[in-house]
Structure 1
Amino acid sequence: MTEFPTEPPSASIPERAGDTTPESPWPLRVLSENLKRYFERAPEAWIEGQLIEANIRGGHAYLTMRDLDVEYSLSLTVWSSVLRGLDAKPEVGSRVVARVKPSFWLKNGRLSMNALDLKPVGIGDLMVRLEKLRQALFDEGLFAPERKKKLPFLPQRIGLITGRDSDAEKDVLRNAALRWPGVTFEVRHTAVQGVNAVAQVIAALKELDAHPDVDVIVIARGGGSFEDLFPFSDEQLVRAVSAANTPVVSAIGHEADRPILDDVADLRASTPTDAAKRIVPDFLEETSRINHARDRMELALTRFLEREARSLESLRTRPVMAAPEGMVNVRREDVERLTARSYSAVTHRLRRDTDAITHLRTQVRALSPQKTLDRGYSVVQRAEDLSIVRHPEDAPSGASLLIRLAGGKITAVSEGEPAHGN
């Protein structure tokens, strides 16, 4: 204690606790009176918890209240004047809210907590709280379908959180083994009701979520009262399940029970037995499906082979397949016919063109200067420039001439134009 106000001290008594020394201490009454005044200034407070002790002696009630989530407890005193005004007497195990105020007794230095009012928390009140919490978590998006993780078809190992030697544990293990004999479990036993349930379930959940071989986690509990199942609507547990990386299956109570855990879990099973059916496939059913699929594949393959065999047989019986050279013979005849036509056309064209060339050669030869010379004509050219002499004046007297005859050439000298009459 450091800053308690005190009554006006005497000259020899320190004013503050921090001023006291071994040589100048406070009298005990000063500390006690300061503590009493301090606690009397504390305001009243409403608290909630579960009664774990309730003793009524001399008209007064002496209670012990424990927190709903952790191992904290508090002693309460209900004086007879308050106790007489209560609607119901306090009972061990009941959930209550109390209006309390601390009180300090000077004679023995004891701090006590007086309950000025005490009310049981009814199921209706709990349900209202639960629905408010459910709506708040829904608005936050913790129940959204896209957050749900898909369960593996055949988990390698299943994590199971349940009560020790509980019917829920037996139902899950037995029914899962009946469906798939090779299934293996990693079981964690926890409290499934009461003040320790939430903390233990959360611890087991985190442990299994970190296990490398666990592919799915089942939280299972059998049926019970609304209060018994209330831990599975605890906000801390709901948020822990939402944050888990491993898919979580909720199997709490019966079909009609609906704790908030069902809404946040990746899969809600109506009962622990239903959970066993949902997390592993049925061996016989899967074997039957495989056999059925194999039969269908065999039938489809047989039909396919039969259809293809018929197609091959149909192809083999066609004329083209019975005598494949027939198509070649037809084409060969076509080629021979076309070859003959081509040869005939080319031969005819050659003959016609040969005749035309012969005719032209004859014409050319008939018109050639050589033919004229052969008929006795000659061509006279001047020797100096080989120009043809067409008129007498083209060859004056003394001009050298070249005369081309049919049989060769001769030279001559022009004597000029002869006299008229000679």
Structure 2
Amino acid sequence: MQDDSGPLSPENTPEKTTLPATAAQTSPENPWPLALLSKNLKSYIDRAPATWVEGQVIELNRRANASYITLRDVDAEVSLSLTAWSAVMNRLELPLERGARVVALVKPDFWVKTGRLSMQTRDIRPVGLGDLLARIERLRQALAAEGLFREDRKLPLPLLPGRIGLITGRNSDAMKDVMRNAALRWPAVAFEVREVAVQGVNAVAEVSRALAELDAMPEVDVIVIARGGGSLEDLLPFSHEDLVRAVSAALTPVVSAIGHEADRPLLDDVADLRASTPTDAAKRIVPDVGEELTRVRQSRAQLRRVIQTLLARETDRLNHIRSRPVLAAPLSMVEYREEEISRLRGRALSAVTAEVRRDTDRIGHLRAQVRALSPQNTLDRGYAVVQLKDGSVVRDAGTVPAEAPLRIRVAVGELTATEGTR
């Protein structure tokens, strides 16, 4: 039977003068009695308030007056054993089943005699779809207010990724769909696959870890997170805040291919591209080689037409230019210039000849004038020039000294004489 008396202390024990006052003061030489520790533990645990917790029922063992439940955390490998009396279980509208997601009001209880800690369940309620959707919607609004879903944050997908990172379930149909359809569209496509848990308590941690690994690989150009649909409870990891923030922080474009149209997980909102199904993701991340070859052929045909049109237009222009007289008989322009130069040369020669002739006549006239005025011409008419010894011309006979030597220049030669007495 449970002893509900107050906690023991050194004062109300038989050896009150020797027992340590606190647990920290105990030693091998001076320990506490086990009953004292148990009583104090119970007193401490009884002061803990009742707490609402959430988890998934993984074990359920019904007895006559009580049910023993093992509750596991929805996001971590942590379990807790609960004890629920029949009065609590009878308040449920529907019988509790394994796998159900519940919230429970639990209060720790310590049994002094056995030293056993149990979690007494005072109330338990199943978490319905409406509650889960409401939680997701509240988180959606909070993350949207932070700007995590803005279009300007989304990264563009590469035209032709060199290597595709694929995060999907182990040997899942989603993985096969993505790889098969991508290979059909572009046979040279390469994948870097990470097979992880896509539901359950390990899903968020494994998907986030795989995302971080692929995002750190420079050769991975786009990352696809694929799953082939499922119930709302199965898809809850893809609405987990930690995963949503991890996708938002990724530097590599992320494609969400969860394949669930009714209730969109938050991953669809934060991903750079949302694909309705894994098959749709394969179609949107790689181009179709047949379509691309058709576009190449069409582009080549269009380019050929443009070049042919350009060549035809330029050929017509050249023919039109060649048909002009200057190009039809190009020597005619040279001949015309030759004739014009010859004519100009003739005119220039005539002008120069006439000018030379006129100047020659003018020079002859001037020469005649000079000769007419020349002393030699006077001498030729019979006159003579008398000069003194110093070369001065005698103009006045009275100025010539007596017996002065004289030079007499005639038309041809000269004579010498001596001034006589007058």
1:351 and 2:354 equivalent? no
Aligned with 2:342 (options 336, 351, 362): 336
Give the aligned partner of residue 259 of structure 1. 265
1:96 matches 2:102 = yes
What is the match of residue 74 of structure 1? Answer: 80
Q: Does 1:189 align with 2:158?
A: no
**Could you say what secondary structure the match of 1:227 adopts?**
coil
Q: Partner residue of 2:185?
A: 179
Corresponding residue for residue 15 of structure 1: 21
Gap runs ≥5 in structure 1: none
Specify the alignment match of 2:221 in structure 1: 215
In the alignment, structure 1 residue 364 sits paired with structure 2 residue 343? no
Match of 2:279 in 1: 273
Q: 8 Å contact 2:8–2:39 — kept in the other structure? A: no
Alignment of 1:191-340 (within 5 A): 191-210=197-216, 213-314=219-320, 317-340=323-346
Deviation (angstroms), 1:288:
1.4
Matched residues in 2 for 1:204 and 1:262: separation? 18
Q: 2:101, 2:408 → 1: CA distance?
A: 160
> Is this contact kept in 1: 2:110–2:117, CA < 8 A?
yes
Structure-1 residue corresponding to 2:163:
157
Instruction: Return the alpha-carbon distance in structure 2 between the equivalents of residues 358 and 317 of structure 1.
Output: 61
One-letter code aligned to 2:222: V
Contact kept, 8 Å, 1:249 with 1:269, in 2: the verdict is yes
Contact 1:5 1:16 in 2 (8 A): no
Question: For structure 2, which runs of at least 5 residues remain unmatched after alignment?
Answer: 1-6
Match of 1:39 in 2: 45
3-state DSSP of counterpart to 1:228: coil
Q: Which range moves more in the overlay, 303-312 or 38-47? A: 303-312
1:56-82 CA-partner distances (Å, limit 9, x unpaired): 434434322211211111122334555
Look up the match of 1:65. 71
Which amino acid in 2 is paired with 1:243? A
Distance change >3 Å, CA 144–CA 361, structure 1 → 2: farther
Which residue identity is paired with 2:162? Q
Q: Which residue of 2 aligns with 1:127?
A: 133
TM-score (norm 2): 0.83
AA aligned to 2:242 is Q
Measured after TM superposition, the shift of residue 275 of structure 1 is 0.7
Letter paired with 2:301: D
Change (3 A) 1:33 1:395: farther
| 2:116 alignment partner, one of 101, 110, 114 | 110
Change (3 A) 1:348 1:56: same
Contact 2:10 2:17 in 1 (8 A): no
Query: Cα RMSD (Å) of the superposition?
Result: 3.3
CA contact (8 A) 1:161 1:189 kept: yes
Query: Once the 2 structures are TM-superposed, how far is the Cα of residue 369 of structure 1 from its aligned partner?
Result: 3.2
Q: How many residues align?
A: 413
SS in 1 for 2:52: strand
Aligned to 1:226, what secondary structure does the other structure show? coil
CA distance in 1, matches of 2:395, 2:389: 14
Percent identity over the alignment is 61
- The amino acid across from 2:351 in the alignment is A
Distance, in Å, in 1 between the alignment partners of 2:198 and 2:284 is 22
2:234 alignment partner, SS class: helix
SS in 2 for 1:364: helix
Are the structure 2 counterparts of residues 254 and 381 from structure 1 closer, same or farther at C-alpha, using a change threshold of 3 Å? farther
2:367 is matched by which residue type in structure 1?
Answer: R
